[in-house]
Structures are given as structure tokens and as C-alpha cells.
Structure 1
Amino acid sequence: MTRELTHFIGGEHVAGTSGRFSDVYDPSTGEVQARVPLATAAEVQAAIANAEEAQIAWGATNPQKRARVLLKFLELIAEAAPELAKTLSREHGKTYEDSLGDIQRGVEVIEFAAGAPHLLKGEYSTGAGTGIDVYSMRQPLGVVAGITPFNFPAMIPLWKIGPAIAAGNAFILKPSERDPSVPLRIAELFLEAGLPAGVLNVVNGDKESVDAILHDDRVHAVGFVGSTPIAQYIYETAAQNGKRAQCFGGAKNHMIIMPDADLDQAADALIGAGYGSAGERCMAISVAVPVGRQTADALAVKLAERVVALRVGPALAEGVDYGPLVSADALARVEGYIQKGIDEGAQLLADGRGYTVEGYESGFYLGPTLFDHVTTDMTVYKEEVFGPVLFIARADDFEQALAMATDHEYGNGVSIFTRDGDAARDFAARVNVGMVGVNVPIPVPIAYHTFGGWKKSGFGDLNQHGPDAFRFYTKTKTVTSRWLSHDLKEGASFVIPTMH
């Protein structure tokens, strides 16, 4: 029997009232396993009203007590992680081990956010003028919201929820309708950890829900991760409505392989970074850029050898390297890009179309696909494919490789594999990309640094997690205080105050 999911508002599961639903599939089998309600604007507004009321007392709670809720949550999610990972795999399609990693990367940001008592400290200057002290304080914004993607249904919500509530805000989460069960369970765990009802609300929905969030004056900030067109829409609409916004979009991440690199190490890194999670990662490496013909020819052989050995199967099966794509639409989209690459003249070394798994013939599977001789004018080079497809785009020299990553309209992540420290240092300094790896294939920063892409990969002034998260979710108030002696009479002054 198909399960019917709910919203989570005011600390309770609330049935949807719109009459509109979206099917939640098991990508491994292709079967519908649940239905999730799509909220009306009125349902979103009710959640916002609930959050606004709950935030008053939560914002007045001292940061140490708020941090204790996060610490208790860490205990609870550690216990729940195995079952959460299974749920995640059943709805998304990534392997069990990869699902545990999804959860763990989110947990690390909660661990960082538990340092809120330190991170929220202001500044103080005594004696800035005669009898004058100046100090600042960080205060919560109020109600804030997150609109999160299907590909990391645990990690991205936790990246946004943790710092936001630690800073004293109430949070409205609009997760992906493709895999909503993990975000709903996360909300339950926070409630169990002692978070007051209404501080965290989960509203499932589509564009109607998103627009309701963007146009409601009670929501003061919005965070988003997804495709670039939607990121740009949300950023612009939020700004027009006077909200803060941090919106992260698509990617076309390059890995430059220098002639001096260990090619076996580079090939292994490319296989993991390109095909892990079926390529459905914003930080996946999708373009290998070998420098020089000899490097390129040797790398192509090593990649082709490894690709045929990859094991594709059901998300929860043992010994599987990656599972299915998230939906039939995603599968058809990526297969369309493969045909586009052929039509544009790229050399197809491995074709994953038509891949079937015995006993799971209706699953959304795509075998590993590899192209060589991809050029920068091809659609498959310009656009994000978001699937298990790796493109080899050859460069004649270091400068051309650097230019390829720098000139691409996306600027999320990039990596260079080399044994030359000078080349690596020069590359890291000059490349026009937000996150750089040196002999690291997926340069996702640790939780106490910030995550964010450049160019069309990111919209907004502040990044996710790290210190930027607390800057984003708070406003700074600066107080100039003066205590005068009773016998000091200065009279009225008509000039601007200065500290002299």
C-alpha cells in the first residue's frame, strides 16, 4: 500500500489539504512507494505564522541552551543514522554507504553550529571617546527558510537548519518532493532533542510553496540549492521582496591532470568523483582535462579500463558502486545528453544507455558513460548533465587548461592533480572558481570553512556553513554608549560626532 506523507508544522504531522500530490518513487525498482502532499500558499502561510510565534521565545533563549538542543540532536541522529540511510537510499537511489556519508556531512555542520555561544559573540571597544564605549551584538533575523534539493536530502537541510536555529531563528524547510521522508524524520528528531514546537517546520510542495515563501514579508532570509535557473529566480525574487538570499546553482567541475601527475591515482579519483552517486552531485567531476596528448591518451585508456568494471545496481545491494538515477525523467534527460554528445562529434568510449539490472528491470539505471575529444563549443561541455557521464576535454598546455575552468560559466569546484607545487599554487591563485582541490577530487570544505561557488554556480554574498552561515542568519546591531558625569555640561553640538 502506498504511504501518504504529511507536512510537519508546529511539532505535529499535518495532512495536506490541497488535494495535490507528487509520487515518491523507489528508483531501484521504479515503483511508487509514497505520495507527498503539495502545499497551498495558505498552508505555507500557516506554517510561517506558527514559526513566527515560536521564534520569539526561542530567540530569547540564551545561545548555550540552544546549543544543548543541537548536542542532544547529535546523539539522536547517530542512533537513527542506519535507518535514515536506508530510507534515503530507497527514495534517492544512492548506495547505503553514500547515504551514510550524506548524513555525516550534515552532522558535521551541526557539530560546528553547536559552537553558537562563541560564534555569536559581538565586539567591544572601550574608551572609543571620552566616556564612550562601542559594542556590537548579533541578533536573529526571525523566520528564515530553506529550499533544498533531492540529491542531498539530509546534508543540505542540516547545513541550513543547524546554523539558523542555533542563531535563534525559526526555520521553514521546503525539501525536494522527490525524497521528503528524511527531512521529515530530521524534524522529528529535533523535536525529540528539545527544540520547541514550531521552531522547525517542514512544508512539502512545488513552485506554489516556493513563491509563498518568497512573497511573505514574515520570512527574512531564504537559502536554496538546485539548478541555476531556479537559483537565479529565487535570488532575484527574494531580493525584490527585501529578503536576504544565498542561492547555489549548477556546476561543471573540471579536473586538470598535469603530465607529471600519477595517472593511476588521477584515474581512480575521476572514477569516484565522476560516477559516485550516479553523478548526481553538484561537486561531481564531470570534465577531465588532461594536459598534453601523451597524458590524454594514457588517461583515456586507464579510464576506459575502469569504467567497464563498475558495478551498478539497487541502492541497498552489497558491492554496488552506484545505484539508479532519482527518476525516469532524470534518466531520460541524461540519455538525451549522451545522444547530443554523439551528434556533436565527441568520441563515445563507453555507452551506458539501455542498462538493466536483473530483477529490477523497471529501475532508473544508466551504466557508466565516457566521452573523449569533447570540445568547449559542445553543448555537453557547456551544460550540466548531472548523471554518470564523464567527459574528456583535452588541453595542449597548462594555460589552456586553466582557461577552460576559468572561462566556463559555472564556477563551483575545480581540481588539479600534479606533483609540482608551484603549478598547483599558481593554479589555486588564478582559477576563477569558488572551491579548489589540489590532488583532492571533490573539494568540499570541512564544516568550519564555507562552501560556495562562483559565477552562475552561486548567487548571494555569503556562503553555506562555516562562519558565513552565522553572518547570513543574524543581523548586527552596534551600540554607542556614553555615561557622563553629572557636573559635565557641554551644551548642544551641531557637528557630526567624531572620536577625538
Structure 2
Amino acid sequence: MSHNVPLLIDGEFLPSSTTQFIDVTNPANNEVIAQAPCATDAEMERAIASAAEAFKSWKEVPVSERARLMMRYQALLKEHHDELAEILSQETGKTFADAKGDVWRGIEVVEQAINMPALMMGETVENVARSIDTSSFIQPLGVCVGITPFNFPAMIPLWMFPMAIAAGNTFILKPSEQDPMTPIRLAELFIEAGAPKGVLNVVHGGKDQVDILLNHKETKAVSFVGSVPVGQYIYKTATGNMKRAQCFAGAKNHTVIMPDANKAQVLNNLVGASVGAAGQRCMAISVAVFVGDSKEWISELKPLFEEVSPGLWNDEKAAYGPLISPKAKARVLELIQQGKEQGANCLVDGSDFTLPGYESGNWVGPTLFTDVTKEMAIYQEEIFGPVLCCMCVDTLEEALELVNSNPYGNGTSIFTGSGAAARKYQHEVEVGQVGINVPIPVPLPFFSFTGWKNSFYGDLHAYGKQAARFYTETKTVTSRWFEDDIPTGPNMTINLR
């Protein structure tokens, strides 16, 4: 039986007074399991006002105390790890093992937030001029906003609000309306950890609610993860309102396979990195570029793809689950059909896959294309489904040209036994995150998530040191303390002497 997902406003979990709700469905059978409210304008104003009021006192809380809140929070997240993963699985369709990974990668960012005292240390130089010292201080911005996608409902909210709040800001989270139950449970645990009221608020809805957050005078920074068109809109709107913004958008991630690579490792990694999580990862490998004689390995991918079996979240044998929605499934099927019509060779076709007893679910089986060219829709668009496109080139230079000509620059990898080839690739490739014999090179949270080109709009990236800078301002103070000698007159120049 479905229930209405609450709002979190001013420290209380409240039912919305709205009459507009969005169904939250189980992707395995599309049964409604909850309803997300579209928060009213008044509720949005209350959430923003609560965050703005809480900021006045929260910014004065010592950073060490804010870090201790994060310590308590990460302990609760670990204690409830499996519970969170089960909620996540039921509303996304992810396998339980994959859902646990989603939660754990978020916990790692909370652990990085505990390090905020070190990340907020300023700098000091004594005697920049005679008897004059200059210091810099790192201070929070105010009310920050996070708009998160469906595909990582634990990890990506945890990319955002723990770092922002540890830095002294207050936060308004607008999670995906497709899977809001996991973020609400994250918020419940945050309140249980001792977060003061108003420090974190959670609202639900769609574009109307997002627009209020983007245009409100009290919000100072916006972090977004999602599609390219929405990312561009949010970035332009936020920055047009003089707000700081970081928007993580689309991807088309290539893996380059050199002939000297370990073949077994390459093939196994290609399968998992392309169809894992039903391909609904912004760092999924969707294009395999075979260099020279490695093209002979493509035929050996076919049986590996045919062995992959999607299934329910609690089926330990399931490789991955359904897509998030019927709309997502229809889009993936349309792109698969376009690939066939445009001349690609579909070695393994998952278009007709269904799970017995769950025929109404959003299932797409693993799909493998060869003979793919740059002009095809399946190459140009981010499919966001369990589909791998294989391409062949003669040299590493041609592979680099192919990858660098793509408008996206989120992630890439190269499989090789040659240090020289790896060094050339990592140095010359125009992509933010590079793996060497690692298929999905997502950096751990003491680094930052660094997509390039059309995969990112903004200057400072998520988590790591860059997040600490994104959520703060730097203030410099230049000071002189006079001794007994009194100046004989005013200094009429800009010179500090």
C-alpha cells in the first residue's frame, strides 16, 4: 500500500497540503509504492525561511562541532546501511549488492566531511609590509540547494548536503521525484544524529519547485546532477540570478582497448561497466574502442552478454534490475531500433527481454552493437541503458582523436600493458576522469569528481577540496597595530608602507 512521502521543514517531517502528487513506482512491475508531493509555494517559502534563519546560528557553531555531527551521522548510516539499501532497491530496481554500493559511496563522502576543519583552514603571512599582516579566512555562503537525480538516490544527496553543512551552510534538498524515499530516510537519520532544526530541509516536486529555489533571493549556491538540457537550464538560471552553480550533466564514456591488454580482464570489465545498474550510471562505459588486433576479441563478448540475466533486487543471481520508468525504457528501445536501422550490427538484442511474472516492468536485456560509427544516434546520444557500442580503429592516435572529438568528457579508461601508451593516453585525452586498467574511474571523496566539457557546467566540482571551496567564500584581512609612534599625517597613497 502506497504512502505519501513527507517534507522536512524546520526540523519536522510533515505531510504536504498540496493536491498534486507524483506516483513513485516499483520499476519491476510499475506498481505504485508511494506518492511524492509537489510542495506548495507556501511550503517552499517556509523551507527557505527556515534554512535562512538557521544559518544565522549554524554558521557560528565551531567547525569542530559540525564535524562531530558528521561523525555521528556516518555511524548511523553504517548502522542502517542494509536498511537504506533495501529502500533504495525497492524504488530504483537496483540489485541489493548494487544498492549497498550506492549507500557506501555516499558514506565515504560523509567521512570526508568530517575533515572539514582541515579543509577550511586559511592562510597567514606576517609582515607583508612593515608591521602589517594578512590572513585569509574561509566562511560559509548561506542557504545552499541540491537537486539530485534518480540513479543514485543515496550517494548523490550525500555528495552535497554533508559537505555544505559541515562548512557552515544550511541546505535545501530537492531529490528526484522518482525515488524520494531513500533521501527522506537519509534526512531522518541526519536529524537523529543531532542536526538542529532548519539546517537541512527536504522538499519534493518538479520544475515549479526547482524554479522557486533557483530564483529566490535567499539561496546562494546550487548543485545539480542530471541530464544536459536540465543542467544547462539550471546553470543559466542560477548564474543569471548571481548564484554559484555546479551542474553535472551527460556523458558518453569510452574505453580504449590496446592489443597488449589482458583480454580476460578487458572482457569481464566491459560487461560489468556497460550493463551494470542497467547502464543507468553517468560513469557507465557505453563505447568500447578496440585498437588494432584487439578487434578480434569482440566476438568473445557475445556469449558473455548472452549470459547476463536481469532480475529482481533480492535475487542474488540477478546481474542488474529494470530501468527506472516506462519512459526510460521506451527511449532506450527507440535508440536500439535506430541503431539497427542506421546500419549497426546488433550482436545481442535485449529489446524483447521480460522477466516471468513481471512482464509489466521496465526490463531491457543486455544489448551489444558492433560496426558503430560516429554518425549513428546510438553513438551521439547518451543511451542510459544496458547497451554497449563497439568501434574499431587502427592506432592509439585514432582512438584519442575519436574520444577527444566527442562533446562529453565525464570519464574514460584505457586497458593496456604498456606504460608508454597509458601515459600518452592520460596526458592527451580531454576527459576529466581517466582510468588505467580501471573501467569506471570514480575518484574517492578526498579527490573531486571532475567531469569536463558538456559533462559539467561550472568551475568547482563535487566533494573533495573543490567542494569545500564551492560551499565557502574567502575573506582576507590585512591588519596593522600601531605602537607608541603616532603618524605625523595621513598617507595619501595606496602604498601600505
**Residue 125 (structure 2) aligns with:** 125
Paired residues for 1:65-84 under 5 Å? 65-84=65-84
Q: Distance in 1 between matches of 2:433 and 2:223?
A: 19
2:447 is aligned with 1:449 = yes
**Residue 422 (structure 1) aligns with:** 420
**Aligned amino acid, residue 273 of structure 1:** A
Which of 335, 338, 354 is the aligned partner of 2:336? 338
Cα shift at 1:265: 0.7
Cα shift at 1:380: 1.0
Runs of at least 4 residues of structure 1 off by over 6 A? none
Q: Deviations over 1:225-254 (max 9, x none)?
A: 000111111011111000000000000000
Cα shift at 1:25: 0.6
Q: Distance in 1 between matches of 2:2 and 2:465?
A: 42
Q: Distance in 2 between matches of 1:132 and 1:65?
A: 32
Q: Secondary structure at the match of 1:464?
A: coil
**Residue 13 (structure 1) aligns with:** 13
**Residue 145 (structure 1) aligns with:** 145
Which of 401, 420, 424 is the aligned partner of 2:399? 401
2:52 is aligned with 1:55 = no
**Aligned amino acid, residue 496 of structure 1:** I
2:243 is aligned with 1:243 = yes
**Residue 42 (structure 1) aligns with:** 42
Q: Distance in 2 between matches of 1:16 and 1:280?
A: 30
Q: Secondary structure at the match of 1:467?
A: helix
**Residue 494 (structure 1) aligns with:** 492
Number of equivalences: 497
Q: Distance in 2 between matches of 1:261 and 1:412?
A: 23
**Residue 458 (structure 2) aligns with:** 460
**Aligned amino acid, residue 24 of structure 1:** V
Q: Secondary structure at the match of 1:393?
A: strand
**Residue 294 (structure 2) aligns with:** 295
Cα shift at 1:486: 2.9
**Aligned amino acid, residue 486 of structure 1:** D
Q: Distance in 1 between matches of 2:476 and 2:29?
A: 57
**Residue 376 (structure 2) aligns with:** 378
**Residues 309, 134 of structure 1: CA spacing in aligned structure 2 closer, same or farther, 3 A cutoff?**
same
**Aligned amino acid, residue 360 of structure 2:** S
**Residue 481 (structure 1) aligns with:** 479
8 Å contact from structure 1 (residues 51, 171) kept in 2:
yes
8 Å contact from structure 1 (residues 264, 302) kept in 2:
no
**Aligned amino acid, residue 165 of structure 1:** I
Q: In terms of mean alpha carbon deviation, does 310-319 or 220-229 score higher?
A: 310-319
Cα shift at 1:417: 0.3
8 Å contact from structure 1 (residues 355, 366) kept in 2:
yes
Please give the TM-score of this superposition, normalised by the length of structure 1.
0.98
**Residue 161 (structure 2) aligns with:** 161
Paired residues for 1:6-405 under 5 Å? 6-292=6-292, 294-296=293-295, 298-405=296-403
8 Å contact from structure 1 (residues 325, 387) kept in 2:
yes
Cα shift at 1:309: 0.6
Q: Deviations over 1:156-198 (max 9, x none)?
A: 0001011100000000000000000010011111111011011
**Aligned-pair identity (%):** 51
What is the Cα-based RMSD across aligned positions, in Å? 1.0
**Aligned amino acid, residue 321 of structure 1:** A
**Aligned amino acid, residue 402 of structure 1:** L
Q: Deviations over 1:9-56 (max 9, x none)?
A: 111112222211111011112211111101233322210101111111
Q: Distance in 2 between matches of 1:153 and 1:461?
A: 24
**Aligned amino acid, residue 3 of structure 2:** R
8 Å contact from structure 1 (residues 52, 142) kept in 2:
yes
Cα shift at 1:204: 0.6
**Aligned amino acid, residue 373 of structure 2:** T
**Residues 186, 490 of structure 1: CA spacing in aligned structure 2 closer, same or farther, 3 A cutoff?**
farther
Q: Distance in 1 between matches of 2:208 and 2:45?
A: 11
Q: Secondary structure at the match of 1:361?
A: coil
8 Å contact from structure 1 (residues 248, 452) kept in 2:
no
Cα shift at 1:81: 1.0
**Aligned amino acid, residue 475 of structure 1:** E
Q: Secondary structure at the match of 2:368?
A: strand
Cα shift at 1:318: 1.7
Cα shift at 1:490: 4.2
**Aligned amino acid, residue 219 of structure 1:** T
Structure 1: tracts of 5 or more residues without a match: none
Q: Distance in 1 between matches of 2:455 and 2:124?
A: 37
Q: Secondary structure at the match of 2:59?
A: helix
2:429 is aligned with 1:431 = yes
Q: In terms of mean alpha carbon deviation, does 153-162 or 311-320 score higher?
A: 311-320
8 Å contact from structure 1 (residues 24, 34) kept in 2:
yes
**Aligned amino acid, residue 452 of structure 2:** W
Q: Distance in 2 between matches of 1:207 and 1:41?
A: 12
8 Å contact from structure 1 (residues 40, 208) kept in 2:
no
**Residue 412 (structure 1) aligns with:** 410
Q: Deviations over 1:122-172 (max 9, x none)?
A: 101111111111001111101000000000000000010111000000000
8 Å contact from structure 1 (residues 448, 465) kept in 2:
yes
Please give the TM-score of this superposition, normalised by the length of structure 2.
0.99
Q: Secondary structure at the match of 1:497?
A: coil
Q: Secondary structure at the match of 2:138?
A: strand
**Residue 470 (structure 1) aligns with:** 468
Q: Distance in 2 between matches of 1:299 and 1:325?
A: 29
